[in-house]
Structure 1
Amino acid sequence: MNKRKIIDRTLLTDLAKDVGLNASHLEALGESCQWEIGVDGDMLERLVEIQHQFERLAVMGDDEYRGFYIEVPRPAPEEWGDAEELIASGEYDSREAFLADWLAFNPMETRWFHVASNRYGDSRSIRVTDRKHTHFIITNHSKCTDAEPDDTWCRENLTRLFDYLQRMIDVIVANPDGFNDYVAHNLPYQQRTGRIAQKEFNRIVPNCKIEVEDKETAIKALEDSVHGRSVPPLETMTIRQYCSYYRIANEAYEAYYRKRGASGRFYEDPQDVPEELRDVAYYKRIKFVDEEILYDIDSPEDFIRFATDHYGELGLSRLNIFASNKRQKGWMIIVSNSYSANVGLAIEVATALYKARAPLLIYDAEKLLRILLEEDYVRLVPDSYHNYMGYQEEGSVYELPWEYECSEDTDSVLNKEQYQAIISNAEWQPEEQAKPIA
């Protein structure tokens, strides 16, 4: 019978130390074989064995999903490297320098990861992730042809992980309430999901507030799009017409980044071509497409052939300006923003097109308007990289820095007071609870 124990950091990290597991082992597994590790033979037997242990917990979702968080220690200095050998080789000039590097690479005493077990038919998998940058899957149905862990270090790390998970499940079954309570109170906020009122967030972190050049016109542009008020659609669309709108949008795009001190290649209005071809020439310089040779720039039929792939993307932003007659009778210029990070940019581009009297339709206009009026919420997420606006109800997202990254230094993303203010004013989603089967 499992012995009920008080759940705390010492207990969880000691379990990991007992089997020789630390955070660096999980990071190393996450860097192998494109994050997918296929197993067979004795390693598959271990995978099956551990999944049988998971079955002591109640199912939590589809495909027999069961999961829980684990907390493992950082590697000790001697596990991270042989200081004496590295000093002898000249890589470090002292043990103090070695320890400083060890601490820089391992700033937190422990690391949290989420482990999930799934089964569907004869397909088995265990997924491990920190919900940020480290993630890998152990599976018997690998898509990676060279994923079988032949390397000794990989097999050893998998064995450590399987041994640890078996001990963790014993602990959870023995004291599920204590385990769930410990996770609820100790899981880092950087690995949770929550939200905070936009106005409150802007008060705490003023430099994150969305600022636009002409707020009054921007609001009107968004309101008109929300209520279907627009310049009448065009009966036809040609490459020449489209390029005139694209140029307006791209110049607003470049002005946005110039204002923020961005460096790069910016395109000037071409002066060596006739006035009536300048917009087409401008588009050609940006997209490297010779429209005049490939298409008739005044043919509505050729515009259909031309308008493919990423023809309307501004830079590599996933902010697209394209022409469409799909949702209405006639052609309109569409502002379609993908990433939450582009909210301010999308509003500036849309405003420029609105001022130019374009027949304009702004996707997600209502959401963008709420952000600009500070009536929205900011979603706090573990990983904001390439976060699409459609991923959540909120229009903008924010990824909390680690607490050790917050200071009064001018280069710090947040100071500690701002960090604590965000945490205390946010609404946090409850974490799922692991429970033994009844």
Structure 2
Amino acid sequence: MTLATVRGMKDILPPESERWAALEASFRDHAGRYGFREIRTPLLERTELFARAVGETTDIVEKEMYTFTDRSGESLTVRPEGTASVVRAYLDHRPAAGEGPVRLFYIGPMFRHERPQKGRMRQFHQLGAELFGTDAPYADAETMAFLHGFLAGAGLRGISLEINSLGDPECRPAYHARLTEYLASRDGELCDDCRRRRVRNPLRVLDCKSERCVRATADAPSALDFLCGPCRDHFAAVESALSSAGVPFTRNARMVRGLDYYRRTTFEFVIPGMGAQNTVAAGGRYDGLAQLLGGKERVPAIGFAIGMERLLMLLGEGGGASPAADVFLVTTSAALLPEAFRRKMDLVAAGVRAEMDYDGRSLKSQFRRADRSGAKVVLVLGEEEWGRGAVGYRDMAKGIQEEIPAEEAMRRLRGVPKEG
């Protein structure tokens, strides 16, 4: 008798495996352009990691995890998602990770015991990235621009970015209270799972794909109406930065994502018209997750994940990063951060590895980071020079800095010859 593969698991043979390898290589190359480096975490983790991080009331923890007790009596789980493991590793090895922002990406298998379906198996694979160490809205926009560029470069057409903000511990309780009151008035219209969720975690009800729950919550209150001042300003700045980077988006006030650790920005790339399973890739900000996992302090972070099987299915049959930067942008004033960010995104889109400091640190600190980045050129945006339409252009190899027109600097960095 020939032994078949376990239900929900799949062998990947040539030529399909070659498509997988090509997609992984493309992701590594794109991640390198944005300064992300690869991390590989174990398949097995302590069960408590996912119970804390993902949330005890989620379907993943309640129904889908592959959990067992090993011979020493310890409860272990085969990882159902990547972010919790990456955060755990970051906390374990934080000194070795270096000064923030720290950019990490991963590629690998995940496991959930759910009904196998087209594009989603019990062993599935994800491409993901996490950015630690800054809560600047530019980091949110960069993460979404990274994902937007990768999906477009892979050949995926018709995708749309949807964004939302879930607020933070300061403003979310008021929204939870209002949402709980709303859901209580519609208890009889909800599915059995959501009647339980509405008490323990009301946000999860909005994530339910059951048609009866979607109808029952059609006019549910929006988290955007309950945002505090800082969260409202952050979300507005994210939208502005996305526009600056040339990434189109729409708001989706119902989006909550399926995991408990998200706060503030959440996002999904979807293909309209595909029904409940229209999400291609998704992510969000999770500034409090490190503390949930035992970290001593808050670590701002944002990330995303892409299901490889689903992406390859959507692409159809047709379808190692160097740590050194090419250029590092330095600003002398926080007022110049939006312009520096726009220039950085223009350079990245042109295939140039560009870096900058999002948090407006001192010039000394920025130049120190520029030196550690290995950048060949440092572009200095100073208030006086910018007023003249110029920037400082420092050749790090030659140790020479000159003042030149801003557009001439961009032409040099993109390798475009000067006209005339």
TM range (shorter): under 0.3
Q: Which has the higher contact order (CA 8 A, sep 6+)?
A: 1
Larger Rg: 1
Structure number with the higher strand fraction is: 2
- TM-score under structure 2 length normalisation: 0.19
